[in-house]
Structure 1
Amino acid sequence: MVLTPTRLRQSLQDVPAAVTIITADMLKRFGIRTIPEALRLVPGMEITRASGPDYRINYHGGSVLVPRRMNVLIDGVSAYQPLFARVDWSSLPIAIDDVERIEITRGSNSAAYGPNSMLAIVNIISRHPRDVGRAFAAIEKGSNGVAAATVRLGAAIGDADLRLTISREVDGGYDSQQRAGADHDSQRLTRANLRVALPLGPASTADINIGHVEGVREVPGVDSGGVTYPDALPQDTYASLTLTHNVAATHQLQVRAYSWVDRIQQSWSTCYPTAFFLPELFNLYRANPRYANEVLAGRAPTGGSVQDDALAATAIAALRALGTAARTPTCGTADQSLVQRRWDVEIQDTQVLSEQFRFVVGAGVRQHSGSSATYLGTAARNTIWRAFGNLEYRPIPDLALNLGGYGERDELSGSTFSPRLAANYRLTDQQTVRFAWTRGNRTPDVQEQRADWSYTLYDANPALRGSSTIRLYQSAQSPGGLTAERIRSVEFGYLLNVPSYGLLLDAKAFDDRLTNLISEKLQLSSFAPTNSGAVRLTGVEVQASAALASNWSVFANYAYLQNHDATNALETTQYSRHSGSVGVWTSFGAGWSISAAYFGASGNGLGQTAYGRTDITLGKSLRTVGQQHVEASLTARRLDNPEQTYFRDFGANGTLKATYSSRLQLLGQIRVNF
């Protein structure tokens, strides 16, 4: 039974999409300790680790620079940051030991969750407070500076069940980074999460979730003039309240509200020639970037407007006034800190009218705002209204029809509507075929629509014209007027479910046409987003799992993908024609178990290398005299290639790469349940 595809609780035989379920047992058995690494179990999922804390993840890939077309939920709360259209995978505010299961809808799910669920949606479901023990502790230590410690307490206070988890995680990342020239991409994070389940009577419950994560993410390098690294200090805090009321056995109302604040402090020391900070050059660049670059190169620009010529003359005079000091370095502190805030309120009504009709409808409003002197000039805000619904209708017992839609009104980008029509037909009790037609979208983020991007240098030395606060001549402003990216998806699927053998097999063929894409590389020196991009993604996927016996289980996943008709080469930078994984687990008495798994991707993207990894995990489980349950495991991991290239930059950087010093990695873990 899954909830994610339509917001209705349905069996896999009835859902209008391909779904991958990753359970807590799978994570433990195969030694998987992070959410990004868990997603390697999903056929068709592209995972690129550009640096220790920097994961680029997207279903079926696309542009590796900023994957922006997949949504992530944690207990129903979206972790997608709409201000800059991204998911911060490394600092999700949930400890891996609190994950009950992960449901991944492999396909466009805008019809259920709206824009930003354009290609897929990942729903991370945490352990309910009543399902955890009184106490839990875990420690781990591994290669590449990996270390972690987790403590969880469970309690019942009156009718309320509580779960409090605090964890500390350290990861050293790669051993060398091309952009840094050294090992500088580690991460240190502390997470805290409190979940409270409180009955409000015989038919109502309240679920409260409060989370916080903060730490340090080392950044290999951004600024060509940088003296120090621009390391980031993230600080995310969220709180959610979900009220559920069962009006009747066949009727449920739910209200959910949440607030989320993301903060990143990021500053560093840098030096550039004094001429780069002339206000006259800044004004010229705003009017005509080519003119400003020509002036800096010592040439007299031509071909512009009369106003451009006048601004150029002023800038040339200012450069001459500096004389030889124009090339003298000016040093100071650059800053690109930002704050993102969002709040959301949603009401949802679910009813079972008969054996033939079930539906869910709802509406909500979300507001997100942000402030960044670097990216937005000052601050920006956007309010979004939405309504959604899904109907399951059975005209005959073996046929389930799903009709859904999601409409949204965005202050910055206008209105969008995402429909879905699907049919699931049961050939037998164990076999189902499905067809799904879906339209989805992704609305442009605030930076794409309202960017006012420039860099200010503080504590400048030497001061320029008596001021120690100066501004780099380059800047960027969004032209605005962008519309939503679009997808039209057609999927044919087959499901085989044989519970007596624990066998589950799902196969699908798909044809996704993506249009109106904002495919350009958005950078300070070239910020010109348009809706001119397009790409077509076609292929097949198969996933299978089986419990051969009480002590044997296996899984296998494979995806074949064709990325074609791309109008922009960046849409081919994260693309594997072949990808998949296979694994086996067994226990063999006295609490011992062993698993082996292989994860691979052919890496056909522009500048992308193939990925291959073999994991072997040996586990031991026992109970102590005091009835504590102790589990220990050791995972040995071998990389096919310790060096990864992930993007071919046609500028000065060439092909970007990151490298481990060894193919072999080890990770040891000890867990104690009290």
Structure 2
Amino acid sequence: MSSSDSCSHRRRDDVPALDPTDDAHAARPRRATALQRKLLACAVAFGAMTAARGALADARTEARLHFRAGMDLIAQKQFDEGIRQLQKANEILPHPNVTFNIARAHAEAGHIEQALAAYREYIASDPADREQVTRIVEQLEQRLAAQRAAAIPEPKQPAAPAPQQPAPQQPAQGEAPSPPPPAGAPAAQGAPATAATKAPAPGSKAAPGDAARIVGAARTEDVYQETVVTASRGAQSPLDSPNSTTIVTRQDIRLSGITRIPELLRRVAGMDVMQITGGDENVSMRGFNSRLANKILVLVNGRTVKNDVLGSTFWEALSIDVDQIERIEVVRGPGSALYGADAFAGIVNIITIEPGVGKSGFRAGYGDHRQGYASVWASAREGDFAYRLSAGYTRYPRWSREVADDRIDLETSGQSQDLGAQNVRIDLRTSQRLGPQRELTVGAGYSRSELDIYGIGPFNDYNLEVANADVAVAYRSENVNARTYYSNLDGYSLLNAAYLGHTLFAGRPQQHVVNAELEFVKTLRAPRAVVHDFHIGLGYRLKATSWSYLEDDMPLEHQGSVFLQDSMKLGERVTVVASGRLDYVPYLERLIPSPRGSVIVKPTERQAIRLSGSTAFRSPTSLEAYVDLPIQLALPGLELLSTSRTPGSSERPIDPEQIITAEASYLNQQSDYFEFEITAYYNRVSDLIVLAEPQRTTLSQRAHGSGGLNPETGRYTSGFGGFENQSDVYHVFGGELGGRVYPTEGLDIFANYALNRSVHQRPDGRDALEDARTSRHKVNAGVQVRTPIGVDGEVTFHYQSSQVWAEQVPTGTVIATKQYELPAYTLLNARVGYRFLDRAEISATVFNALDGLGDDALQMHPFGNRIGRRFMGFFSYSL
């Protein structure tokens, strides 16, 4: 879908694994009753929202309706009504081009003073063409001055005998009479001033045709059409995108009241969102979610924000917050053809509000369990220079305490047992126009965070203190785009708690990344009937990582890439997109290709049928490639050595994860009152990187010096572990159906459904526990309303079917894999707000409103916290 295929938020928790010997039949009546109560609560909540009358529906859709109506009326020379429609569109969703068209329509109608006022408002937004528009204003001012001068009465002179005037010449038969001179032009010599020749009084209409010659053509492009940039690295409609793309809009963000970015993504069809602790959210797409999830590429304004040590994204450690986000583009499907490694299952590109756009302001919130949120921002433009400066603080509690205060048998990390995540941040982005279609942007961000996260394998409750910093410079022009940035991560990590005599595994993860990209863009015809949108680019990435969990002699990694894309428009209805990229991965010491091909057929201007196929890969992370960590087992004095090298061998056996995908979709935006999309896909996933099954030390290994007593730890190495490529092949069949409806002004309803079915293909003789961690069925639905009196809000509903997880846990002398079943869960979130004084707003949100209505605690991972209900109130003010 192209709007937001949305839903809501949820939580997580620590729930004991279900015992397969439990009597499932005895639990069914109670669960049915709980489900009935939940559905009743959902119906009541939805009914309350949909009962609102006289509200304003989706801002973008409403503004588009008024904009189109206004432009049609102006084209028919019905200026007054057309201007009123454009003004209504601009009230709903302001846009400089709408203001320009209002000014131009006033000028064409002869309303010179009103046109000047609108043009000056347009210039005040510092548009790129302000010099040309300033010249239009000067010409209109001269014309207005001439009109006013002509309207001043002449001083009275002594009466003089009127000269004899010849009788007016009658036109010959069939000849039209001569037209009067244009307004403001001097009368013919000797001719008396008449109503036809006098200039109009101030505020009255001037000659329409005269002003129209000054102001030129109107801007008829649909300024409210959604555009995406992530799928093709250039602005385009979702109808033209080579991948299925969803946009979480600014309105979705504001009306949801959500402050966690992953929870905003839950509303997207096919997204897997999992909260484990108060500071740990993991996101994947179309399956394969996990602790330290690493299957999607997360970008902020095109800059990757993943940590290279673990390959995951620390969402609560970003230097931006939701109040700085313009929109979130989600590409549903692999993107390695343009973005290389790690765009395995999809891409999330967080696009922030541009420097100089919008007003300055602040928002603050506080909730139960000491939740806290604060954000302040300043945005301004001065000529060609603009900036946006933001700062903020966030605090989220744990959903449940891991360690009681009276435990004397445990050693703790020292981090508060009530803290899930805490973030202090500052971010500055600036832009400088260098001329038409040329801009330089410079920015920097810094955040310092404390997080409670879950690692992999036996590393569950884990504390991380981390500082993130970045500096980015980008140049954009009509044909050349360039970007370079530096990012740094510096942290301190250790287990939250361990039994006395056991280690907390303290460590210091660090990373330094320098990234540079150069792209050439050109539109051309070859042959003349085919329009090519051509992109070619080069990339370089320098990565340096270190951690006490990794090998001491880790190398600097120099990664290189080249990509090419050609979007060929064959007439008005068919577009063929061919993309491809080559990445050099130094760990693998080879080039990896990632092709993609798409065919887009548009039966009408606002319908699209898309067929696409692509491949993608995920390269091993620093941890997977260079791990060297002794893990203490439950039995005192024993340890497992987790290493990427097979004992006695120097070879590194891990290959990149691979995915081959085929997708077919249909997107319909034909109506201004609804839109919908249906998508079907097939993914073939192989070489998944997983924790290797531990191998006990053999006599042969002991003879070669492997295993035995580790003098550094004082423990006996009883086995070896690490990472390996899973031999299973997964065949994933799925589909997504979603839509958004605007039945009347005042109501915006969205819903989507995702189906995901995975078939394991195992090699002969391999017997492994089933791992069905992806819910087969997911449902999202929601209602948004805004009312003329300033009351607005949203209710969102989410359902996710049951899961079965296979996780590794330490036992007495080894680490073993066990199965854990998670039941289905539902999640209901709501927000209501009231705007007043045109600047202020108060609002309240509830997360997991259904908590306590059912018998099962909401839990999103078998080791995660149990998710409860949370309330939070906010106050915001714009300057």
Normalised by the length of structure 2, the TM-score is 0.62
From 651, 666, 673, the equivalent of 2:871 is 666
8 Å contact from structure 2 (residues 259, 321) kept in 1: no
Partners of 1:646 and 1:434 lie apart in 2 by 34
Secondary structure at 1:80 match in 2:
coil
In 2, distance between residues paired with 1:9 and 1:481?
A: 41
Write the deviation string for residues 136-173 of structure 1: whole angstroms up to 9, x where unpaired. Answer: 11001123432111111123355311111000000003
Deviation at 1:119, TM superposition (A): 0.4
5+ residue gaps in structure 2? 1-226, 408-415, 646-651, 695-718, 806-820
CA-CA distance at 1:665 after TM superposition: 2.5
- Kindly indicate whether structure 1 or structure 2 has the higher relative contact order, using CA contacts under 8 Å at least 6 residues apart: 2
For 1:461-480, list aligned pairs within 5 A.
474-479=640-645, 480=652
1:87 shift after superposition: 1.4
Q: Render the CA deviation track for 1:206-251: whole Å, top value 9, x for unaligned.
A: 111211110222458999999xx853211000111101123xxxxx
Contact 1:372-1:378 within 8 A present in 2 as well: no
* Maintained 8 Å contact 1:608/1:645: yes
**For the Cα contact (< 8 Å) 2:631–2:642, is it kept in 1?**
no
1:124 aligns with 2:350: yes
| Deviates further, 411-420 or 523-532 | 523-532
In the TM superposition, residue 557 of structure 1 has moved relative to its aligned partner by: 1.4
User: Are 2:619 and 1:443 equivalent residues in the alignment?
Assistant: yes
* Contact residue 539 and residue 562 of structure 1 kept, 8 A: yes
Q: What does 1:26-175 correspond to in 2, within 5 Å?
A: 26-133=252-359, 135-157=360-382, 159-175=384-400
Aligned to 1:430: 606
Map of 1:84-483 to 2, 5 A cutoff? 84-133=310-359, 135-157=360-382, 159-177=384-402, 184-218=418-452, 231-246=463-478, 252-267=479-494, 334-354=505-525, 356-377=531-552, 379-413=554-588, 414-454=590-630, 474-479=640-645, 480-483=652-655
1:656 aligned to which of 846, 863, 867: 863
CA distance in 1 between counterparts of 2:326 and 2:875 reads 19
Distance 1:195 1:225, change over 3 A: closer
The farther-off stretch of 187-196 and 57-66 is: 57-66
User: For the structure 1 residues 483 and 658, does the alpha-carbon distance in structure 2 shift closer, same or farther, using more than 3 Å as the test?
Assistant: same
Corresponding residue for 2:672? 500
Shift of 1:91: 1.5
Indicate the SS of the match to 1:519.
Answer: strand
**Offset of residue 522 of structure 1:** 8.6
Question: Are residues 1:5 and 2:231 paired?
Answer: yes
Aligned to 2:828: 614
Equivalent-residue separation in structure 2 for 1:639 and 1:440 (angstroms): 39
Q: Please report how far the alpha carbon of residue 439 of structure 1 lies from its aligned counterpart in structure 2 after TM superposition.
A: 1.0
Q: Is the 8 A contact 2:602 2:608 kept in 1?
A: yes
Matches of 2:837 and 2:323 in 1, distance apart? Answer: 19
In the alignment, the residues of structure 2 paired with residue 565 and residue 441 of structure 1 have an alpha-carbon distance, to the nearest angstrom, of 19
Say whether the 8 Å CA contact 1:185–1:220 is kept in structure 2: no
* CA displacement, residues 277-308 of structure 1 (integer Å, 9 cap, x when unaligned): xxxxxxxxxxxxxxxxxxxxxxxxxxxxxxxx
Partners of 2:746 and 2:237 lie apart in 1 by 25
CA distance, structure 2, for counterparts of residue 73 and residue 609 of structure 1: 32
**Post-superposition shift, 1:599?**
1.5
The separation in 1 between residues aligned to 2:533 and 2:769, in whole angstroms, is: 43
Is 2:836 the counterpart of 1:631? Answer: no
Q: Cα deviations across residues 47-66 of structure 1 (Å, max 9, x unaligned)?
A: 11111111121102215233
1:559 alignment partner in structure 2:
754
Q: Does 1:515 align with 2:720?
A: no
5+ residue gaps in structure 1? 247-251, 273-328, 457-470, 648-654
Q: Distance in 2 between matches of 1:486 and 1:221?
A: 23
Which amino acid in structure 1 is aligned with residue 655 of structure 2?
Answer: T
Of 585-594 and 565-574, more deviation after overlay is shown by 565-574
* 1:75 CA displacement: 0.5
Alpha-carbon spacing, 1:511–1:377, altered in 2? closer, same or farther (3 Å): same
Does residue 602 of structure 1 match 2:801? yes
- Cα distance between partner residues in 2 of 1:622 and 1:211: 33
Q: Distance in 2 between matches of 1:176 and 1:659?
A: 10
Bigger share in strand: 1
What is the CA–CA distance in structure 1 between the aligned matches of 2:426 and 2:551, rounded to whole Å? 30
Q: Which amino acid aligns with 2:866?
A: T
Aligned-residue offset at 1:374: 2.5
Paired residues of 2:613 and 2:662 also in contact (CA < 8 A): yes
Following the alignment from structure 2 to structure 1, what is the Cα–Cα distance between the partners of residues 473 and 459? 46
Q: Calculate the TM-score normalised by the size of structure 1.
A: 0.81
Rate the CA distance shift 1:570–1:6 in 2: closer, same or farther, 3 A. Answer: farther
Q: 1:540/1:384 Cα in 2 relative to 1: closer, same or farther (>3 Å)? A: same
1:139 alignment partner AA: A
Matched position secondary structure for 2:623: helix
Deviation at 1:437, TM superposition (A): 0.9
- If you compute each CA radius of gyration, which structure gives the higher value, 1 or 2? 2
Give the whole-Å Cα distance in 2 for the aligned partners of 1:271 and 1:610.
32
Q: Indicate the residue corresponding to 1:643 in structure 2.
A: 857
Q: Secondary structure at the match of 2:721?
A: coil
Between the aligned partners of 1:126 and 1:420, the Cα distance in structure 2 is 28
1:586 pairs with one of 785, 788, 800: 785
**Whole-Å separation in 2 of the counterparts to 1:437 and 1:609:** 34
Shift of 1:30: 1.9
Deviations 1:422-479 (A, max 9, x none): 10111223322110011111111222222222479xxxxxxxxxxxxxx995432203
In 1, Cα distance between the equivalents of 2:306 and 2:761? Answer: 26
Deviations 1:147-206 (A, max 9, x none): 111111123355311111000000003024499999555211111110001122344211
**Identity of aligned pairs, percent?**
21
Name the CA shift for 1:330/1:178 in 2 (closer, same or farther; >3 Å).
closer
**Alignment size in residue pairs:** 582
Q: CA deviation at 1:9?
A: 2.1
**Conservation of the 8 A alpha-carbon contact between 1:225 and 1:271:** no
Please give the alpha-carbon distance, in whole angstroms, between the structure 2 residues aligned to 1:18 and 1:131: 29
Determine if contact 1:178/1:658 at 8 Å carries over to the other structure. Answer: no
Preserved contact between residue 280 and residue 454 of structure 2 (Cα < 8 Å): no
1:462 aligned partner? none
1:514 positional shift: 0.5
